[in-house]
Chain A
């Protein structure tokens, strides 16, 4: 920093301290403007990160096919098991296809009980859902063909049922049947439940068993499945794969299935996010405009008050630009202080929103840098006219002013 800037900063800070109340009041607009921007963008950023986490859990290269929603009065339909095989053969670029039967059940072992999501599936599910095994192994083809009573447990299930010992080789009871534990899943970041179209299943609470082992009961189609998840070799193929899958299911069942394409949901989310960003940006721009006008007002008052000082400085050799620089440094000091306080307030706001509204919030570090740069810009932008006015004062007139 040049010595002149150091001196001007010191001088500016002192002039502002001279009118503590006035300076504090004048930066309130900037403080609240910046705080609003930081807090609102934290909501947007939180939503974005959550979406990304959910998409990552589901996989942007996956498609989930679910049966058509039941008509009123009719029993829930399920997808024929054969659909999974047909999909594997027909959809181009398929990497893994896994049929799923899903049931909310209670599991117990050694006197402990916990609510679980029972998933009946095939070995392909490990690849389709990106499962990682922490211990033991996943289902094998033989487990399915031989209808073995084996189970792979999610991390939370292990914690609930086997807090101390290793579950491998132990038995767990699910809907009256005993299963031998053959593997444990790696802990996953659990998706938070929020009303979104892509609520990812919490696999930490899953008990995964061979597809035929999960009893469907007599009331439903015996060979039906609740979901078919397939993963493609290339993420770009998801949309065409979804179209093919939809057509296939409609032909075999006579009703259009629900097809969930996380990648498309991500796209849609990004569009919504852009709208949110524009609205946030507009609100921010308005509040910062108001803040800037407050700064301009106070700087004009300050110049008017210190006209004689301007005259004295001009007599002592200050050029016009020296006078302008002095007032610009002062207005920038005001707004950057406002930006710092506003950022802090915005961070507190983000924490409060998360605590009380339950929305996830996240502050991108770049946001804070942007907030300070914008605050500096306001100081220079709205301080420009008062500074220019001060610089243009006639020295003789200015010295004569009381």
Chain B
């Protein structure tokens, strides 16, 4: 796929983003000036050793966390100007999260887990179940809709989590070590599923230190000590 021409604005733009924490008297700098653009329909892998700032970067991309300094734009809007409610709305409508440990809510069935974002979207009750089932069909898990997360295998749990991330049809899918808790074969399945979603137009950003998984992305950004060390495009 040829790179998109310049005029179209990026989905996400980071410019000199710094994220620093105060830990008592000391100051920990997790991100020390990261600039990055993510275009619609891209598949990007963020790689790097632990402590390089991968997860912090993902939190900022997911609007769970705010930059201490620098600019962060989502669809051309500056994220810094949004209040907490607006950020929640942005996460709900525009961003889907996939976590390493799936983070399904144990007391809810698979379908109810997938429906959770719809509660916060304010969707009317009758559309919940059909939308949840559509999302589950996309990940091939519709037959497990009424099961509890504890009854699922790891691969199925991650599929359910992906369905939950997709149910509000977000512009950006963020995956944090999506295969980290899975065996190789199952990890491969999930990786293929993400490829397939990307092939159908989804923008996928994944954080991993799994080289095999990272190489499946069309663009790999490597972080070290809170800075972009290298960026390769294939």
Question: Could you tell me which A residues sit within 8 Å of B by CB distance?
Answer: 3-4, 6-7, 11, 14-15, 18, 308-309, 311-320, 322, 395-396, 399
Contact = CB atoms under 8 A, between A and B. Distances in A.
Interface of B: 59, 62, 64-65, 84-85, 88-89, 91-93, 97, 99, 103, 105, 107-108, 116-117, 119-122, 124-125, 164, 168
Contacts, number: 66
B107 A18 contact: yes
Given A14-B108, A18-B107, A313-B120, 14 more contacts: A11-B108, A15-B107, A308-B103, A312-B103, A314-B88, A315-B64, A315-B91, A315-B97, A316-B97, A317-B92, A319-B120, A322-B88, A322-B119, A322-B120
Contact of B89 (A14, A317, A399): A317
A399 B174 CA distance: 15
Given A316-B164, A318-B88, A7 B119 contact: yes
A3 B124 contact: yes
Given A396-B64, A399-B103, A316 B120 contact: yes
A315 to B, nearest CB: 5
Nearest to A316: B117
Given A309-B105, A315-B91, A316-B91, A4 B64 contact: no
Contacts of B99: 312, 399
A306 B99 CA distance: 17
B125 A3 contact: yes
Which residue, A4, A15, A309, A399, has most C-beta atoms of chain B within 10 A?
A399
Contacts of B92: 316-317
Contacts of A395: 64-65
A264 B91 CA distance: 71
A207 to B, nearest CB: 73
Nearest to A391: B84
Contact of B84 (A309, A312, A320): A320
A323 to B, nearest CB: 10
A52 to B, nearest CB: 51
Nearest to A402: B101
A288 B120 CA distance: 34
B64 A6 contact: no
Contacts of A3: 124-125
A318 B105 CA distance: 14
Contact of A317 (B59, B93, B103, B107): B93
18 contacts: A4-B122, A7-B119, A14-B108, A312-B105, A313-B116, A314-B64, A314-B88, A315-B62, A315-B91, A316-B91, A316-B117, A317-B88, A317-B89, A317-B117, A320-B84, A396-B59, A399-B99, A399-B103
